[in-house]
A = this chain, B = another copy of it.
Amino acid sequence: MSSAPVRVGLIGLGTVGQGVVRVLKTNAEEIARRVGRPVVITHASTRDLGRKREVDLNGITVVSDAMSIAADADVDIVVEVIGGHTVARDAIMAALARGKPVVTANKALLAEDGNAIFATARKAGVPVAFEASVAGGIPIIKAIREGLAGNRISGLAGIINGTCNYILTQMTVKGQSFADALADAQRLGYAEADPTFDVEGVDAAHKLSILASIAFGIPLSFPAVACEGITRITAQDIQIAQTLGYRIKLLGIAKRGAAGVELRVNPTLIPDDHLLAKVDGVLNSVLVQGNALGQVGFYGRGAGGDATASAIVADLVDVARGLGADPRHQVPALAFQPESVQELPLLPISQIESCYYLRLRVADEPGVLKSLTGILAGHDISIEAILQKEPRGEDDATVALITDRVPEHRFNEALAAMQALPFVREGAARIRVEHFKD
């Protein structure tokens, strides 16, 4: 094996790209001690050549054309950190076509187009590494794909969007409204000017589909993820949940059962003594359930230039060490050998089973609870906890309850029946509940 430096072409010089430049320089000696030779960025591309960067680009040939990086004969490995679909996809495909391994943080691209990208990489006999695509610097891809390889994984749940976790934490700690907490997050740079992808759960759904694929050995199935964001969570629901012993988190949840696989992103009540409930602010955390190990958990920084760069450089070390190796010894991109990746039935959301938190505004009159509990009993739904709050002044009363496990369609039927009652006001809140029992 050569001792010449490994030459990296970096597509993108935004926050993450600059993080990669900085981490590779700062830790150059450690990285060379790990790989056996230096790993250096020789080429980089950016749309905005004139912009001043906070990192030292000395020694790096900076160009405006991403495709030229992918095509450059002097680049051994291509790192893609521009995000998006068009240029990123073209550059990745071009690099693979030239036999160059690729490292990417692009969860949206992989979730939506990964099956084709991994097939191309396989034909080329080179890896596409993507540790940075989920949960920033937490090595969750490697942990699930390799570290838990002895297990049949039955499910996983994760706080995998730092923006939503920051907003929900602020709403919990400060009693803020969603709108106020979002505005704070935007001011601090934790949320984009257009926060839709984060707060509607789309980003988490991208990441969840990647995790589910490597956990279960199924193709990437982003369109099948049932996705619900946090925009309708109120400070009142967070406060009632706390009274009942729960915290509200946006979770990505993947489960594999006899009937099929369920994939969903939704706000979730979780017991406040559970470790996931303690993961606050922009931290990420993932919990995995395996049949040999039981539950295992991971937490750390899910975003930020250097944390994401940590994962990209870890991939670079793996890929650099494997340059020139026989591809038959590679870890398969999606954890399972490509011919063993299997489609499994994906459950529609109406078929999933869950516990539910329900909050209703009701007129303050006799017999209300009797009618509501009667409807639940009539739909064979047990109640785990119930809370009635008296009206203040001329307000309506509030009834909140937590049910036992029930299929979603049956819960919805009961909810519709309750909402048809004359004393039930508009504006019910319904949030799923997870207890993470083994």
Contacts and interface: CB of A to CB of B under 8 A. Distances in A.
Interface string A357-389: 000000000000000000000000000000000
**Number of this chain's copies in the complex:** 2
Interface in A304-360: 306-307, 309-314, 316-318, 321-322, 324-326, 328-332, 335-337, 340
Contacts of A317: 146, 149-150
Interface in A287-313: 290-301, 306-307, 309-313
A241 to B, nearest CB: 19
Interface stretch (A46-54, A131-139, A219-227): A131-139
Contacts of A23: 150-151, 292
A212 to B, nearest CB: 15
A175 interface: no
Interface string A223-265: 0000000000000000000000000000000000000000000
A33 B310 contact: no
B296 A33 contact: no
A27 interface: yes
B152 A314 contact: no
Contacts of A337: 33-36
A27 B318 contact: no
Contacts of A295: 300-301
A143 interface: yes
A275 interface: yes
A26 B294 contact: no
Contact of A152 (B30, B32, B336): B30
23 contacts: A27-B152, A34-B335, A36-B340, A139-B142, A139-B143, A139-B296, A146-B314, A149-B314, A150-B312, A273-B278, A275-B278, A275-B279, A292-B307, A294-B301, A294-B306, A294-B307, A297-B300, A298-B298, A318-B331, A321-B329, A322-B329, A325-B326, A325-B329
A148 interface: yes
Nearest to A305: B292
A216 to B, nearest CB: 10
A314 B137 contact: no
A311 B148 CA distance: 7
Contacts of A332: 34
A323 to B, nearest CB: 8
Nearest to A318: B146
Given A33-B340, A138-B296, A290 B318 contact: no
A34 B171 CA distance: 43
Contact of A137 (B293, B310, B312, B321): B293
Given A298-B298, A329-B322, A149 B34 contact: yes
A328 B323 CA distance: 10
A314 B147 contact: yes
B306 A149 contact: no
Determine which residue in A143, A278, A336 has the highest number of CB atoms from chain B within 10 A of its CB, and name it.
A143
A155 interface: no
A73 interface: no
A217 interface: yes
